[in-house]
Structure formats: structure tokens, C-alpha cells
Structure 1
């Protein structure tokens, strides 16, 4: 009888632990779903932003090497300010970091979810790495800027409310040296292509997020 009582107690404890783990798992899954929904919304905005910026940078590069660039001072200075304007993708990684740091990935019984989640995280890191490369290109542009732009005119493209404004007095570049302008245009074209590339990477990441959401909803029968 004593053995039976101990054994039943052991089963009861295991059952309670199982219920607790299932509850924790469900909480993590629901939290993960919310993170992925936020990522999807952020990626939608990011993709659109990068496409627009890519086109703006192409326009800037073309005008810089145009032999009549003095006619486009307003647009050139306005677009030059856009080089440093960003709307970065912010990864909602709160849930996955909790799962990894607390060693709770084991609680996710659907191993296919864990595998796809880790793949998604690697894909996010690729995008972040490319964003860092984009930042390096902008740094090169900044270093060269003093040889091309009038500092006061460029500063005037942002008002007191920190909004970008188009100059009205057609400010001029401080050099007509084609080699210098071509070097600057090269950096801007490179930045443009990185913007388009990151837009595509983000679009692929968005597809992965949507697919992962669908997989979670299917595996866990979420409403």
C-alpha cells in the first residue's frame, strides 16, 4: 500500500508538472505570435521605405554627375539630407530571447516550430548585417561630404522641428571637379543598390514571418 501511495503521488506530481509546462508553452506560443505580427507590420513599412529611398538615391547620383548640376541645387541638397534618414527594422525578439536564455526552447513540443523559428532568427541577423554595411557606406558619404557640399546650405535643409525642407535659393556645390563628384555619385549609387537589396531581403523575411505564423496557428490550432 505504501508503494502504491508513493507511486500515485509520483504520477500526480508528473501530471501537475505536465500541466504547468503546457501552460507555459501556450503562453510562449501566444507571445511569439504577437512578436511575429509586430515584425510583419514593421517589415511592411521597412520594405516600402527602402524602395523609396533607393529611388531617391538613384536620382541624387544622376544629378551629381549631370553637367548642368548647378540647375538642381535645391533637389541635390534636399536628397543629400535623405542619405542619413532611416526607418530601421526593429526585431521583436523578446520571446525568443526568453526561450533561449531560460533554456525553455525544450518546452516547445512542436520541434518543427523550433527549427523554423531558429531559421527565422538567422534570416533576421542577415538583414541586420546588411544594414550595418549600409551604415558604412553612409559613413563614407559623410567623410566625402565636406568636399562637395556647402555645410551651411546642407544644414538649412532641416528646420527647427527637425523636418526636412527643400531649399529655395538653389544652393550650389562647392566643387565642379568631375572626379570628386563621380566618386560621390558612386557611393550614392552603391547606397541605392543596398537599399533595394535590403528591401528584397526584408520582403523575404516578411514571407518567412507570415509562413511561421501560419505554421504555429496550424500546429497549435489557434483561433
Structure 2
């Protein structure tokens, strides 16, 4: 029996090159496909972060706008208190005003409550690397620094606020206040105050003018801290508006 041996011709260089190129392009295309999918996933995450950040900023703006109006009320109350204290004689309307504006000074909530959900996610998940627009990252950083400065001012303001409250405890009969009305303002029970006046001969815990002047000083100091806090609030509003505008421009692209 004859055995036929098949001859194996060595591959030409061109065939090796073709096989190499086919393998190279297969690996390259696989790599590019994976890279593109990862890129698209990160861009979706970036989009979600920016949308969420915009919502947080708008919530901050709403809170700052409301608190800004309340700060105006508080500052006006402080001015009225000082004006009345330095009057030589007080009428019944002055006494009522002193009571109501004093309680207004310590029951108006003006501290800002910033939304932190998105910024916390960006920090904890390393999400800042996903935001490609360096201008947005810079603005976010600037906004966060503003929040930190406001927090420092807020703590100093609350310390002065507590002193105002302490002085009120030396001057006011706090049991003459009624329940807050629908707008949240506390009412004065004049009948209760008249009863106290008939029993003690005076509308306050003391008639010492120097104590009232001291109270006025604390009120004025507190007003100063509130006024500066309000300025910082307005500056933060501006930063929020600029950041929202920048993000919305980015989301359009």
C-alpha cells in the first residue's frame, strides 16, 4: 500500500501579517467597544449628578429666599426694641410692641438648611472625576466654601442670640404669650399682662433702665451678626444662580 504524504507549504509573510492584523483589530475593537460603553455609562452618571445638583441648588435658593425675608423681620424687630427702650416714657402700645418684638427676636428661624445629598454622593463615590467641565467643579468648590463660612458665622450668631434670650428672661413675663396664629406669629395675651400689672405695679420683671439698656446692647450686637449673615446669604444666592446657569448650559450640550 502506498502512503501519500500531504505536503505542508510554509505560510507566507503576507498570510502571517493578515492573521496578525485580524487578531489585532478584533482585540482593538473589543477594547474600544468596552471603553465606549464605560464612557457612555460615566456620561449618564455625570448627567444624573448634574440634574440632582441643580435640584439641590434650587431647594437652597428657595430656603435662602424664605430665610432672607425672615431676617428682614428680625432686624426690624431689633430696631423697634432699641427705639422703644430709649424712649423717655412708655405707653401701653410701646409695652405691647416691646413684648411682641422681643419674642419675635428669638422665635424666627433664620438658619439656612443647605441640601447636601448630591455633594455627599460626589465626595463619597469619587464622583467629581466624572464632571468633565472644570468650570462647574470650580463653582461647586466655591459654593461649598461659602457654606462653610456661613456655618462659622451662624455659630457666632447663635451664641449672641442666646444672650438676647437670657436677657429676655430677666425682663419679660413669658406666660403672657398666647399660641402662634396661622402665620406662625405669637400673640400677646393683654388680659394676662394687665393682671400682672395690677398685682405687681409694673409690666416687666424689673423697672431698672440700665437692665433695659443692656438688653438693647445685646439686641444690637445680635442685629449686627444677623445683618452680616444676611449679606453672606445673598452672596451664596448669587453663587447658586451662577452654578445653576452653568450646569443647565452643560446639560443642553
Give TM-score scaled by structure 2 length. Answer: 0.79
Query: Structure 1 residue 155 and structure 2 residue 141: aligned?
Result: no
Matches within 5 A, 1:105-116: 105-116=128-139
- Matched-pair contact (CA < 8 Å) for 2:85–2:213: yes
Q: 1:13 to 1:198 in 2, by over 3 A?
A: same
Task: Give the CA deviation at 1:70.
Answer: 5.9
Task: Give a deviation string over 1:23-53, Cα, whole Å, max 9, x none.
Answer: 0000001111111111112111111111121
Counterpart secondary structure, 1:146: helix
- Greater shift in the superposed pair: 183-192 or 21-30: 183-192
Give RMSD over aligned pairs: 2.0
1:82 maps to: 104
Cα distance in 2 for partners of 1:18, 1:39 equals 31
Task: Give a deviation string over 1:150-201, Cα, whole Å, max 9, x none.
Answer: 2xxx233132777500332456122222221111100111122222222221
2:140 maps to: 117
The correspondence for 1:194, drawn from 209, 213, 225, is: 225
Cα distance in 2 for partners of 1:179, 1:41 equals 41
Counterpart secondary structure, 1:159: strand
Which protein shows a greater Rg?
Answer: 2
Unaligned runs of 5+ in 1: none
Q: 1:165 to 1:197 in 2, by over 3 A?
A: same
Cα distance in 2 for partners of 1:157, 1:10 equals 74
2:243 maps to: 212
1:24 maps to: 45
Cα distance in 1 for partners of 2:56, 2:224 equals 29
Corresponding residue pairs, total: 219
Task: Give the CA deviation at 1:118.
Answer: 0.8
Query: Structure 1 residue 133 and structure 2 residue 153: aligned?
Result: no
- Matched-pair contact (CA < 8 Å) for 2:81–2:102: yes
Task: Give a deviation string over 1:189-218, Cα, whole Å, max 9, x none.
Answer: 112222222222111111111111111122
- Matched-pair contact (CA < 8 Å) for 1:75–1:166: no
The correspondence for 1:44, drawn from 53, 65, 73, is: 65
